[in-house]
Amino acid sequence: MSSGQNGRYTLVADIGGTNARFALVAPGQLQPEQQITLAVDDFDTIDAAIRAYLEQAGIGHDETPREACLAIACPTSRDWISMTNNGWSFSREALQRSLALEQLQVINDYAAQAYAAPHLKADELFRVGGGEALTGHPIALVGPGTGLGVGGLIFDNQGQVALVTEGGHVDFAPTTELEIDILRYLLRYHEHVSAERLLSGMGLTNLHKALTDIRGATGGPLTPAQISAGALERGDAICRETLEIFCAMLGSVAGNTALTLGAQGGVFITGGIIPRMLDLFATSQFRARFEAKGRFRDYMAAIPTQVVIAAQPGLLGASAALHRHSL
């Protein structure tokens, strides 16, 4: 692994719509240290937030990092970065000059999740079925959260390359009679029913509304938190069915992604929804639906599926991205 210039720490960040998480990585190391989370709304610019973090971390002028990798929740392919869910916008070239950085990488936050995956420890993962991952083969990531993230990681003789996709917006493909009825319900309101329409926070609400209509039940729309509480705490039948079908559908989509990428290196379930219901997830139809790919059932059965339960995988991924050609 490369070390920081002149033995200095390198700077890593994972920045979303609400929080900006920062950390430092010591020369020759991968694990982030001195993690601090700042509220995006407290700062007018990303430059100001970075300087505030360095001050809080006790980094003096002579120790200022010369290398940085920022994982950001928005497209990052151009010089001008405009964040999707907060007001920060900046030129990466101007930010690099302002912070006197010799190297600055700005990557998509889901790319950071991908780069983190091979470096997660056993206690940062919750395994649900499968055999052993094949070293050097592609890895797939599927992350139901605010939206549905889909991506991967491939390996070549130069290191690791993250695949950042818009796979959450593929067509929803029902595989049961009930799911066909759910699709019919959603087609009343949406011209295009994507996987994300069902496998996300809003997806839980959409799925619950569809089941309420199909079952002829009553009750207004519920938030994802209300649905989870109804299923896990109050024993509400439709809320419970909502979570069960959510997990089953996720198994189908994760399996499709694994087939598409040839992800014999394993599939990682990211995002904030599944870690909140691990017991239900482990006993759900997720794994059965993941493997239910006809003639490729044996191929799928060998692929391990794991839920990422690490606290800050984005920071680890930013560190790995910065040094990916020498890991």
DSSP, collapsed to helix, strand or coil, labels residue 271 as coil
Categorize the per-residue pLDDT at 1 as very low, low, confident or very high, splitting at 50, 70 and 90.
Answer: very low
144 & 46 share domain? no
For residue 107, the domain's CATH number is: 3.30.420.40
Any bridge partners for residue 126, and if so which? 307
pTM of the model: 0.89
Average pLDDT on 239-264 reads 98
pLDDT of 6: 53
126 & 81 share domain? no
Residue 16, annotated as binding a ligand: yes
pLDDT of 300: 98
Average pLDDT on 17-32 reads 93
Amino acid identity, position 152: G
Count of structural domains within the chain: 2
Average pLDDT on 233-242 reads 96
Residue 17, annotated as binding a ligand: yes
pLDDT of 325: 52
- Asked whether the predicted pLDDT for residue 5 surpasses 60, the reply is no
Categorize the per-residue pLDDT at 3 as very low, low, confident or very high, splitting at 50, 70 and 90.
Answer: very low
pLDDT tens for 119-171 read 999 999 999 999 999 999 999 999 999 889 999 999 988 788 999 898 999 99
Categorize the per-residue pLDDT at 78 as very low, low, confident or very high, splitting at 50, 70 and 90.
Answer: very high
The backbone region for 81, taken as left when phi is positive above 0, alpha when psi lies in -120 to 50, beta otherwise, is beta
Domain extent for 81: 5-114+313-322
Residue 15, annotated as binding a ligand: yes
279 & 247 share domain? yes
pLDDT tens for 197-217 read 999 999 999 999 999 999 999
Average pLDDT on 107-112 reads 92
pLDDT of 4: 44
88 & 146 share domain? no
274 & 256 share domain? yes
Say if CB 125 and CB 136 are below 8 A apart: no
Average pLDDT on 73-95 reads 90
pLDDT of 188: 97
Per-residue DSSP letters for 268-319?
EE-SSSGGGGHHHHHHSSHHHHHH--GGGHHHHHTS-EEEE--S-HHHHHHH
pLDDT of 99: 95
327 in a structural domain: no
Residue 100, annotated as binding a ligand: no
Residue 159, annotated as binding a ligand: no
